Structure 1
Amino acid sequence: MRMLLVILIVLLGGAFTAGCARSGHRRLPRDARNMTTAPPNRTPEARSMQVGRVLTFAEAQLGKPYCWGGEGPRCFDCSGLAQMAYSRAGLRIPRTSHDMAEHLPEVPMEEAQAGDILWWPGHVAIYEGEGWVIDAFNSREGVVRRYGFTDPPHRALRPY
């Protein structure tokens, strides 16, 4: 019985760590991240107050470490960062990247706007516009601003 419990724990642990951390072996190219410069043409007047709150919260987390299951404030995983950013804007979204893909409205990639969630299998990022995202990338990189289309996202989700 004890051996069965150990096997079950190992299997469940593997399922949970297949999320954002799956990219832990990858390293972002130096020119793919920029923690100091916002993408061009992103002014407060050009976005709604909710989107502004989402992006402001996400930007304030730049440089924080990644931690699996992290919902802040010290560290985040990808979906924990998204969930907290949207909650600061008064929006409730699902906790995991899988549930976000299942329950949030999808928009065509060519119509993605600042404040949308970009989705890859097991990973999400908050879209800033002009191809830039903020995400808890992995345990090596932490929360970063990066060009999100070096590995094109599979879907765009609009929770607002």
Structure 2
Amino acid sequence: MALRAGVAGGVLSTIAVAGSANAATAAEPVTETIEMPTLTAALTSKVALSAEATQQAADAYQYRAEQQSAAEKAVKDAKKAHKAAEKKAEAAAEKKAEERAAAERAARSAERTDLSGVQTAAATSSSSGSSASAPSQDVPAPASGSVASVVSFLQAQVGDAYVMGGTGPNSWDCSGLVQAAFKQVGVDLPRTSQEQSTAGTQVGTSNLQVGDILYWGGQGSAYHTGVYIGDGKYLDAANPSKGVVIQDLSGYPADGAVRVL
């Protein structure tokens, strides 16, 4: 009995110890759950940082988008301003051209009035100067009053167009107009400026008479011709932008002159 009681007591003691150990072992997981709040706080912090970074990226993207939109608007505004400036400049140019055309028409009308007096003086000059300067042998003698006829023909062409190689009746180049004017009085001039600069008698540009043929460039190598009409003016088929006009000789002095009348 005593032995059994001792054995039984030992067994119970062993069971008690084991139970205590198991109880202690079973309680250990409770200790591990204490660290969970720390892990949760760290994760929350990381999530918060990630959200802040995302917001910063979104703000930066929105800022760049606003900058791009502002730049595009500035470009559009600049294009509109440029177009408006171009239209304004075109309108100003058109107005200036109209004013210039009106002034030229008025000047042309005044010049035609002046030419009527020049023609009378030209006829007198032609009769008094015919003995002082005889034309070359290859130029026919002109009829009476031929200088006035030449000037009258030239006056009638004022306002016609300039066309390279033009010989009339509504468009001319410089030598074509000179040739046609003198043909009216029976003087057959060469066709080109170079040849016209050697026709007739060479005269100095300081002693010009109405009807003298002016040339620019060298004798025999002239590149332009016109006709002196008195009062320091000449008439020529100037260029495509001017056409047939009367101009002041002081603005474009000739290099030489020949007299065929």
TM-score range, shorter chain: 0.7 to 0.9
CA deviations over 1:87-122 (Å, ceiling 9, x no partner):
011111111110011233111112111111111020
Aligned-pair CA distance for 1:43: 4.5
Aligned-pair CA distance for 1:37: 2.3
Q: Please say if residues 116 and 159 of structure 1, whose CA atoms lie closer than 8 Å, have aligned partners that are also in contact.
A: yes
Identity %: 35
Paired residues, number: 130
- 2:213 is the alignment partner of 1:117: yes
TM-score of the two chains, using structure 1 as the length reference: 0.74
Partner of 1:23: none
User: Which structure shows the higher helix fraction?
Assistant: 2
Partner of 1:17: none
TM-score of the two chains, using structure 2 as the length reference: 0.47
Partner of 2:246: 145
Bigger drift between 118-127 and 44-53 goes to: 44-53
Partner of 1:76: 172
Aligned-pair CA distance for 1:149: 2.2
Mark the CA change 1:46 to 1:119 in structure 2 (over 3 Å): closer, same or farther. Answer: closer
Q: Please say if residues 119 and 151 of structure 2, whose CA atoms lie closer than 8 Å, have aligned partners that are also in contact.
A: no
1:20-59 mapped onto 2 (5 Å cutoff): 34-38=107-111, 39=114, 42-47=118-123, 48=126, 49-59=145-155
Amino acid at match of 1:130: D
CA deviations over 1:63-92 (Å, ceiling 9, x no partner):
000000111002000000000000011111
- 2:166 is the alignment partner of 1:65: no
Gaps of 5+ in 1: 1-29
CA deviations over 1:40-66 (Å, ceiling 9, x no partner):
852415424110010000000000000
d(CA) in 1 for partners of 2:199, 2:171: 25
Gaps of 5+ in 2: 1-102, 127-144, 218-222
Moved over 6 A (4+): none
